């Protein structure tokens, strides 16, 4: 059997298989989340990452575990890629005490401090200045550490995007902005709301390095991220990566998807990042069908286990309502009604 | 009269005003191709076209600022902010521009437009998507703030808002869209700035608005049934200008008042109302004015915790009884 | 003890904390090369260098968001928004991020930083530059809001704020910078969350903060001189958490209360305080709690009009007498 | 005597002399404002336009009187160039009833609806989305009218700048953004806070036409504005003009100007837009010394008259506190204390 992929000599077979496994894990995790949402085990908004797996997996693999990550509300993939325990992520979606945010955050607000996964945020682009601050802290303290922010094409039109990129550029903050351009913000196609549809070109206005990558190709994402992360780390200032991708499902579980055509979706399904890596590995003689089946089985089992574990985790105790409002400050007003 | 939902009532008002006045147009995120995140404007893009139903970028500050400018230029914009949580991104435009341009210009430049938005929690949307922030806007001179709790009031007040010569923040509530009620077909208005007694009673006054109106009416029925207590329920409907005359009149009769509101207590409207009641009808009060607000915590996601983070009928029931002792 | 100004007191606190902890740094518009728009940080850039005294672009949202991130990364940022009017541009970061991250993360991620800003009118800066918006922030769970009225409190509270493990909005007042008072050299703190009786009295309680503290003390002296009335003056000092125990204790003694505040009335803190007083010490009240706020108008520019748009000592004097009748 | 300026054949001598007069009027107006500020006739913040006169005069002359204008707080020049009565502008600075905003706006909030001068605004960049809305109203109503916004280099870093340019570009709104790059925002030099110091390049990110002009040359500003305004008017969408200029005075009256060198200021004083036009006209034999003296005398007289008139105008009646809060709504709360 071969050991390297043509065109990607730096990657060991092990790592490529791990990419495949992680993408499968995210895919199966999201499929089960949708199912559990239907059963009302999960409430609120649920934004699936299906179709975009190559971005989270490729990008996060290229980072150091010390690097900070922040993301938006479509962040299950980033959390899982960063190594957050699927059991605890699922428990968070269930609103249980065992959840990564102890049930208080929910699907849109996964936090795992130990893994420097500093949150999913639900205000579009609201986390971008936070990423700049995290990057600044590393720079200030002389740490060998960058901050990475994931966000969508819709976030690019917010003022916070603009202010963050400019501030990061002026201070040469080590931060990597990764825009997952899936071409829609809810039901709005990018060309209807962005004066420039190639997002990385908008980033060029801030005098920083920006480029585009095929977000359906995990190897390409990995390599681009690796390169840009190292440049940011070595003091070149902020970097910008636009990953061209597509969400295979609706914006959230409530989306009737009236705004895009079946044909378009079909076309993108043909570029499924999982199938693509699988084919490529098989063609290069790096993967056998039964190995793939085995990886997928492991992913499914991990997700089964996650669902079981989440369901066994109790809801947060009523007392949890009152904690974590402040550090080191007593009970808060309104408690008398409890 | 036909029974329709709060959602349909708002949608009707919008359509009728779009039909009546060419200068009226809608702008906001996902109101067109997507049909509106709460489906209020479903089918509008097809019916009215891109000129009058304008999908915007996710740019709250520009949405509101652009609506202000368009109003100054003679149009009647109805801008939408998907939820009141996102209004914080446009707050500068609302507070520093919309509310002040008439005054700063010495009366030359009115800014008549409507800003629709959605308030409230209860759908497990978490801390950043579940706030009730309308009282902040109700503090600002120059703004009108409307908050209907029934389909009838929603349609009638929205029509008044669209015809109002001042900037109006029109606050809807996410848990009310499916509420049904009788709504006349065709044109009518509900005047801005008039509170409404939604239930008469002689023993205690309950003041409510938006979601808590339903809570108050439910509790009033239970009190009548279980305790023989007749509560009078006043629905504020407009938060600015705040019409407290019906509240004072009611308290002069009942000598007791409870205010119930989804917002956090400190700096919400309940303090203002309690402060005014005790000032204006001090001698009529037989007990302190009581207030029921959300506990002072960010909204938790977990269903069981979220239930604890919003005022409940049971809490209100107990508080009313406490007032009566 | 040396007598210094409010401005110098704040400047001292900043310098001492910069000296004491390498992780403390300042960021904001024109705090460096310009020396601060109220000259609080004059000479800091030269003394501490660009790493610790960081001039920023005019990007309020990024300033606050960046401070939040830096705090999450282990630094102790002291960010500055030139005035509270501009805080509206950063309100999303303050309310939706700073106040909620600890809670949303289930307690994992504290956000300890200080956001200094300047509130108030009275300098003919017009409608967009003269607001008192601190009560909005005082409504938000997760935030601490501090508002010192004297040089002593300013230095001591700022030191507490910098050492506080939670996000603190530190509100200064533009008309107080030249006020002088005794301030110890070197380190001391004033605890957050404790109101302070600034003058003892037995006849009536006046509740104030920031600029209105001076008003209250002036009126109290006049009342003593001219009417033999002894007013007790309570300075809130911290707006969140709001410490009303000294107010209740005072009203139990005086049976009368007047609250005076620069903010517009509806939704300001005066309603909250009046509402709480009448609830907690109802049986001790001999008269309704009175409130003096700014009239409900945007701030006019003309000097004569601006004077009418802020609470005055005369108005407060009259209102106290009214309460005593 | 010649009738045209070499290199600017489209401009009549009359108009060139008018440019000169208007720049002188603004210059003298601002000098007297500073003096009156010293005498406490004017309160609050006062931001002088001295040094930048060519921008307002050249740009506004190139517009149709129907075009909307909005500006920031440094807007006396724009108001005067638009034809607002110097008497009423000075009265506004004095806070008098005769002021353009009836004394309620002040120096930072001049409004003159009749002249479609729709305001000075004191929140940096806060008026940019308003300009987009004004432009939209013209487009929507089929009017032959554009909106113009004046703002500074500091405004470019605000989120509102970004959102406004993008929205205008997406909707092809007829709006002309004129950035007066005087290289400082208060005490902050542009290169310290802007990732790209050539502001028009930042505007290019929105796929709109953007260019730079010498803001000390009134003829160049006039011609550039004329061209861009016509393009906007003819449906090409938003246009962006960066005028390179310099303020000869401090940011406001309180500014100790510690942040820039005497040499730098001296260099720019050598490019004084008034002296430059004067020299050019003289060299082209279009202006005689006594004509210039006469123009200047007229400008000084107009300003003298403005000061006298303003001082004779009464302060607003106390009743004015309560009016103009709402259209058609009665007295507001708090009135009982009056
Ligand atoms: C400030 C703000 N405005 C609006 C919304 C509502 N909203 C949630 S997601 C979304 C679309 C975002 O699209 P994009 O950034 O492309 O990310 P994607 O969902 O495609 O991953 C919108 C409008 C929000 N959450 N925050
Ligand atoms: C949102 C906001 N932030 C800060 C300020 C304070 N401020 C007033 S003017 C100014 C500098 C603006 O510079 P620039 O845009 O270059 O205009 P210039 O004064 O040079 O004409 C600042 C920071 C403000 N008015 N508004
Ligand atoms: Mg998208
Ligand atoms: Mg400038």
What tens digit of pLDDT does each residue of D51-84 get?
A: 999 999 999 999 999 999 999 999 999 999 999 9
Buried/exposed A69-89: b ≥16 CB within 10 Å, e otherwise: bbbbbbbbbbbbbbebbbbbb
Q: What is the pLDDT of residues D255-288, one digit of tens each?
A: 989 999 999 999 999 999 999 999 999 999 999 9
Residue B84 pLDDT > 60, yes or no? yes
The SS3 call for residue D149 is strand
Ligand 3 centroid to Cα of residue A182, in Å, is 5
- Identify the band that residue A249 occupies on the pLDDT scale cut at 50, 70 and 90: very high
Q: Which of B63, B81, B295 to mutate to test the interface with A (most CBs of A within 10 A)?
A: B295
Q: Which residues are CB-neighbours of B122 under 8 A, at least 6 positions away?
A: B130, B174, B175, B211, B306, B310
CA of A160, closest CA in chain B: separation in Å?
9
- Tell me the torsion sign for CA atoms B195, B199, B202, B204: negative
Tokens of D80: 């005067």
pLDDT at C164 over 90: yes
Distance (Å) of CA A70 to CA A64, A126, A147, A231, C152: 14, 11, 8, 19, 40
How many Å separate Cα A78 from the centre of its chain?
3
pLDDT score of D336 more than 50: no
- Percentage of residues of chain C with pLDDT beyond 70: 100
CA angle C152, C158, C164 (to 5 degrees): 135
Asked if B61 and D327 come within 8 Å (Cβ–Cβ), the reply is no
Residues with CB under 5 A from ligand 4 (ion): D 152-153, 182, 185
Contact D53, D273 (CB under 8 A): yes
Nearest to D206 by CA among D238, D241, D178, D173: D238
Closest residue in chain D to residue B112, using alpha carbons only: D327
Q: In angstroms, rounded to a whole number, what is the distance separating the alpha carbons of residues A273 and A277?
A: 6
Cβ within 8 Å of residue D172, ≥6 positions away: D139, D235, D236, D237, D238
Task: Encode pLDDT of D240-264 as tens digits.
Answer: 999 999 999 999 998 989 999 999 9
Residue where the block lists tokens 């019916």: B47
Phi, psi angles (nearest 5°) of residue D183: 75, -5
Q: Quick check: C266 pLDDT over 90?
A: no
Characterize the bridge pairing of strands C196-199 and C231-235. Answer: antiparallel
pLDDT in tens, A292-307: 999 999 999 999 999 9
List alpha helices for chain B, DSSP H: 6-20, 44-48, 60-72, 91, 101-104, 134-137, 151-163, 211-227, 245-254, 269-280, 303-308, 313-324
| The pair of three-digit structure tokens given for residue A47, joined into one six-digit string | 């934004």
- Confidence at residue B222, expressed as pLDDT on a 0 to 100 scale: 98
d(C-alpha D244, C-alpha D257), whole Å = 20
Give the number of the atom of ligand 1 that is nearest the alpha carbon of residue A122.
25
CB nearest A109 (choices: C66, C75, C104): C104
- Give the three-state DSSP class for D96: coil
The residue-averaged pLDDT of D111-126 equals: 98
Sheet with A209-214, strands from edge to edge, namely: A117-121, A68-72, A147-152, A175-181, A239-244, A209-214
Residues of B in contact with A123 (CB under 8 A): 85-86, 89, 128
Which residue among B8, B16, B60, B172 is the active-site one?
B60
Q: Which ligand is nearest to the CA of D55?
A: 2
Q: Which of C267, A275, C43, C275 is nearest to B289 (CA)?
A: C275
The predicted pLDDT at position D8 comes to 84
- pLDDT tens-digit series, residues D158-201: 999 999 999 999 999 999 999 999 999 999 999 999 999 999 99
Longest dimension (CA), chain C: 60
In whole angstroms, what is the distance from residue B60 CA to residue B84 CA? 11
* Residue C36 Ramachandran class (φ > 0 left, ψ -120 to 50 alpha, else beta): left
Residue the block writes with tokens 């997996």 = A57
Does the structure show a pLDDT above 70 at C141? yes
**Structure confidence at residue C268 (pLDDT):** 86
The 10s digit of each residue's pLDDT in A106-130 is: 999 999 999 999 999 999 999 999 9
User: Atom of ligand 2 at shortest distance to CA of D185?
Assistant: 13
CB neighbours of D77 closer than 8 A, spacing ≥ 6?
D26, D30, D49, D52, D53, D55, D56, D57
Q: Name the residue in chain B with its Cα closest to that of D118.
A: B109
Q: What does the alpha-carbon distance between residue A17 and residue A3 come to, in Å, rounded to a whole number? A: 11
Q: φ and ψ at B168, to 5 degrees?
A: -125, 125
Q: Is A46's pLDDT higher than 50?
A: yes
Q: What is the structure's pLDDT at B107?
A: 98
Q: Are D24 and D274 in contact (CB under 8 A)?
A: yes
- Give residue A337's pLDDT: 39
Give CA–CA dist D286/D7, Å, rounded: 14
Q: Is A77 in the pocket of ligand 1 (CB under 6 A)?
A: no
CA distance C51 to chain A (A): 8
Give catalytic residues of C, as residue numbers.
60, 129
Q: Is B173 a catalytic residue?
A: no
Residue A124 CA to ligand 1 center (angstroms) comes to 5
Shortest CA gap B133–chain C (Å)? 9
- Tell me if chain A has a CB within 8 Å of the CB of C28: no
Q: Write out pLDDT tens, residues D78-106.
A: 999 999 999 999 999 999 999 999 999 99
pLDDT digits (tens, 9 = 90+) for C195-214: 999 999 999 999 999 999 99
Name the DSSP letter for residue A227: H
pLDDT at A330: 72
């Amino acid at each position: 059997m071969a050991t390297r992929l043509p065109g990607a000599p730096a990657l060991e077979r092990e790592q490529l298989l791990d990419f495949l496994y992680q993408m499968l894990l995210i895919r199966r995790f999201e499929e089960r989340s949708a199912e559990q949402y239907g059963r009302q085990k999960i409430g609120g908004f649920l934004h699936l990452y299906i179709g975009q797996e190559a971005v989270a997996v490729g990008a996060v693999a290229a980072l150091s575990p010390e690097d900070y990550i922040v993301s938006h509300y479509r962040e299950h993939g980033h959390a899982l890629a960063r190594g957050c325990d699927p059991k605890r992520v699922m428990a968070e979606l269930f609103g249980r005490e065992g959840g990564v945010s102890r049930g208080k955050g929910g699907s849109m607000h996964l936090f795992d401090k130990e893994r420097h996964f500093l949150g999913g945020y639900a205000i579009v682009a609201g986390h971008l200045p936070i990423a700049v601050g995290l990057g600044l802290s590393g720079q200030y303290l002389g740490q060998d550490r960058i901050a990475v922010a994931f966000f969508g094409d819709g976030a690019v039109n917010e003022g916070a995007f603009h202010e963050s990129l400019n501030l990061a550029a002026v201070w040469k903050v080590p931060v990597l902005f990764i825009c997952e351009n899936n071409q829609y913000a809810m039901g709005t196609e990018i060309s209807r709301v962005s004066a420039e549809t190639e997002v990385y070109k908008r980033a060029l206005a801030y005098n920083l390095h920006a480029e585009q990558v095929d977000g359906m190709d995990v190897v390409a994402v990995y390599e681009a991220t690796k390169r840009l992360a190292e440049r940011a780390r070595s003091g070149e200032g902020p970097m910008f990566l636009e990953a061209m991708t597509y969400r295979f499902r609706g914006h959230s579980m409530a989306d009737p998807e009236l705004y895009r055509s079946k044909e378009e979706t079909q076309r993108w399904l043909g570029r499924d990042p999982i199938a693509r890596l699988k084919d490529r590995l098989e063609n290069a003689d790096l993967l056998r069908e039964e190995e793939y089946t085995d990886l997928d089985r492991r992913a499914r089992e991990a997700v089964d286990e996650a669902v079981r574990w989440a369901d066994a985790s109790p809801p947060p105790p009523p007392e949890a309502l009152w904690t974590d409002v402040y550090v080191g400050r007593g009970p808060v007003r309104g408690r008398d009604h409890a | 009269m036909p029974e329709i939902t709060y959602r349909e009532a708002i949608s009707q008002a919008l359509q009728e005003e779009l039909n009546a006045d060419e200068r009226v147009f809608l702008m906001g995120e996902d109101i067109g191709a997507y049909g509106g995140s709460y489906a209020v404007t479903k089918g509008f893009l097809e019916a009215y076209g891109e000129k009058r139903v304008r999908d915007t970028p996710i740019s709250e500050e520009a949405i509101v600022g652009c609506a202000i400018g368009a109003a100054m230029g003679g149009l009647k914009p109805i801008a939408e902010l998907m939820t009141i949580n996102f209004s914080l991104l446009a707050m500068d435009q609302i507070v520093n521009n919309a509310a002040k341009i008439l005054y700063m210009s010495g009366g030359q430049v009115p800014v008549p437009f409507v800003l629709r938005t959605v308030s409230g929690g209860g759908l497990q949307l978490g801390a950043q998507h579940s706030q009730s922030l309308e009282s902040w806007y109700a503090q600002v001179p120059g703004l009108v703030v409307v908050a209907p709790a029934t389909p009838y009031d929603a349609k009638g007040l929205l029509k008044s808002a669209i015809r109002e010569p001042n900037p109006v923040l029109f606050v809807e509530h996410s848990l009310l869209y499916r509420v049904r009620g009788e709504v006349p077909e065709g044109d009518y208005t509900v005047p801005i700035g008039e509170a409404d007694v939604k239930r008469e009673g002689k023993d205690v006054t309950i003041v409510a608005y938006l979601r808590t109106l339903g809570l108050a009416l439910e509790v009033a029925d239970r009190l009548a049934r279980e305790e023989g207590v007749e509560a009078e329920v006043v629905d504020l409907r407009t938060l600015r200008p705040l019409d407290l005359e019906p509240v004072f009149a009611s308290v002069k009769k009942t000598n007791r008042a409870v205010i119930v509101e989804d917002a956090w207590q400190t700096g919400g409207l309940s303090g203002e109302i309690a402060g005014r009641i005790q000032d204006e009808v001090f001698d009529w009060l037989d007990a302190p004015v009581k207030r029921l607000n959300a506990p002072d915590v960010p909204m938790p996601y977990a269903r069981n915790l979220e239930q604890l983070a919003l005022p409940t009928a049971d809490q209100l029931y107990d508080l009313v009884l406490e007032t009566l002792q």
